[in-house]
Amino acid sequence: MAACAPSGVVAPEEGQQPRQESAEQGQNVVQPVAQDSIIPTWKAYPRQWPQKAGVDWTKFPSLPPLNPRANAQVIHVAPDGDDGSGLGSFKSPLKSLRAALERATPGAWVVVRGGTYLEGDGDFIGVRLEKRHKGVVVTAYKGEEVIVKPANKDVTYGLEISGDDITVVGLKFEFSRVGATIGDAGRTMRNLVLARCAFDANAGILILPPPNPDRSPIIDGVLLHDVKVSGAEMGVSCNDGPCVNMRYEGLEVVGRASDAGSGADAVAAEAGDNIALIDVKVSGVGADGIDLKATRVAIANATISSVGRNGLKLWGGGDVFGTTIHKTGADASVVFGAGQYRLLHSVVAEHNYKGPTSYSMTVSYDEREPTSIEVANTVFWRNSGGVFFAPHAEVTLRNNVFSQIGNQRAFDHRELSVSTTDSPGGLKKADIGAETSLMNTKPGFADSDAGDFHIGPGSPLRDAGASLKTVPDFDADDAPRVVGKAPDVGAYEFSKAK
């Protein structure tokens, strides 16, 4: 490509990193380029937060460095490159990702300049990253937009990854059927990072292999960082599993409502363990928002809205914090199976509102295994029905709001059925902390019709929360959790700065 190299950088030869002149030696030497990195600085999400789900934060993959290591093979690709005569260097780039990956050795960096690339001629998959590509990084050059499209109508899958320790950064895939497939049948694939990528397809990111014969994980280690899936019936799915050690941060799934059925979820795992979600946003899918059949799950600051069926489903326990779930359908907005759960500083709103009566949340509805749940500083508002706690579940409620419930039922537990018109002081007989709940309190949200559940200066939720242990110190805006004399109820802490 005829573009200029960054200031102070000498265009590299094939297989080398960008170089700087060495004043001491008077010759070109291979060095990391510090003043102008290939990848922009990463957005900082909390690396971990206090939780009781047992998540092991050390097991997740890490983001790559902003530049290749010294002496790494670097292959350049540009729209005006040449796969025949190009050397793959900065001044003599290749034209296609496929040609670059044919030359890539383990640990190579493929640096892609801005433009549109037509990939997959003679194949149904646009770009393949295979076992031989172990440790390869494919990245857009900083500040440049890279779009990958099918070379012809027969290419319907955008990206296939079956190798270990692979990273893809800053590429947008626009394909008709599937954005990306992940996995290698018969073994455990390890450590995949997708960062700042976008997928526009009927299905977004699918972890597809059937279960291994020994039921070992089909994938161990996934990091999705600032990834967007749009126009999809199905968003990000571990179809069979087990999928373990998965972290999604800044993931956004904007679905395409359809009648595809219960499998068309935004984020799903049929079997998994050690999963962390932070700042995940899902909307518009025809089925469930988040459905995880997994153990050791921690969710912070998620937003789930306008989904056809359940908003959030967890089946093996988990911590949910700072999460907003609204405009959901089916039989419940939140479904928890058997296990140990905490739902803290969250909002469950407008579930089947003015529609058929159904529970806003169910806990261990059909299961009989030991179950416990703590619900604190959470708002249940404008739902068609209340909460169902299984008789065998151990329940703790602290400083929650139950307001504008269609059937005026706040919750049912054992022999106790609590109405939103009951006196909070009369609920001590439940012995589950319900006397601190706020019945029929108008929460004073900023603009709930538009999905804005911040609270205003006059909201009764201000400083009305219980002080909790083992919780994050940030709210759903990543701002300080406690500003006044006590935490606010709901996902967002009020502050004048906001």
Mean pLDDT along residues 16-26: 35
The residue type found at 220 is: D
Residue 32: pLDDT over 90: no
Confidence at residue 25, expressed as pLDDT on a 0 to 100 scale: 29
Residue 417: pLDDT over 50: yes
Mean pLDDT along residues 415-438: 61
Q: Residue 3 — very low, low, confident or very high, per pLDDT cuts 50/70/90? A: very low
Whether 415 contacts 437, CB under 8 Å = no
Give the list of residues 6+ apart from residue 425 with CB closer than 8 angstroms, or none: 435
Q: What is the tens place of the pLDDT at every residue in 273-322?
A: 999 999 999 999 999 999 999 999 999 999 999 999 999 999 999 999 99
Burial of 423 (0-12, 13-18, 19+ CB in 10 A): exposed
User: Per mean pLDDT, which range of 172-181, 223-232, 421-430 is the poorest?
Assistant: 421-430
Mean pLDDT along residues 354-360: 93
Share of the chain above pLDDT 90, in %: 81
Q: What is the DSSP letter of 471?
A: -
For the chain, the maximum distance between any two Cα atoms, rounded to a whole number of angstroms, is: 86
Residue 151: pLDDT over 60: yes
Alpha-carbon gap, residue 262 to 289, rounded angstroms? 11
Q: What is the mean pLDDT of the chain?
A: 89
Domains with residue ranges and CATH for the chain: 47-288 (2.160.20), 310-498 (no CATH)
| pTM greater than the 0.95 cutoff | no
Query: What H or E segment, with its residue span, contains residue 200?
Result: strand 198-200
Confidence at residue 439, expressed as pLDDT on a 0 to 100 scale: 74
For 450: left if phi > 0, alpha if psi spans -120 to 50, otherwise beta; the answer is alpha
User: Per mean pLDDT, which range of 165-169, 213-217, 376-380, 423-427 is the poorest?
Assistant: 423-427
Residue with tokens 């260097």: 89
Q: What is the tens place of the pLDDT at every residue in 126-146?
A: 999 999 999 999 999 999 999
Residue 429: pLDDT over 60: no
Confidence at residue 491, expressed as pLDDT on a 0 to 100 scale: 98
Residue 435: pLDDT over 90: no
Q: Which two tokens stand for residue 131?
A: 């076992």
Q: Residue 449 — very low, low, confident or very high, per pLDDT cuts 50/70/90? A: confident
Alpha-carbon gap, residue 418 to 495, rounded angstroms? 33
Confidence at residue 33, expressed as pLDDT on a 0 to 100 scale: 37
Confidence at residue 424, expressed as pLDDT on a 0 to 100 scale: 53
Query: What H or E segment, with its residue span, contains residue 98?
Result: helix 97-103
Q: Residue 259 — very low, low, confident or very high, per pLDDT cuts 50/70/90? A: low
Confidence at residue 36, expressed as pLDDT on a 0 to 100 scale: 74
At 122 the three-state DSSP class reads: coil
Confidence at residue 431, expressed as pLDDT on a 0 to 100 scale: 53
The residue type found at 82 is: D
Confidence at residue 477, expressed as pLDDT on a 0 to 100 scale: 96
Whether 366 contacts 335, CB under 8 Å = no
Mean pLDDT along residues 416-432: 60
Residue 200: pLDDT over 50: yes
Strand partners for 167 = 137, 193
Alpha-carbon gap, residue 247 to 112, rounded angstroms? 26
Q: What is the tens place of the pLDDT at every residue in 177-188?
A: 999 999 999 999
Strand partners for 403 = 381
Strand partners for 222 = 192, 246
Q: What is the tens place of the pLDDT at every residue in 37-95?
A: 999 999 999 999 999 999 999 999 999 999 999 999 999 999 999 999 999 999 999 99
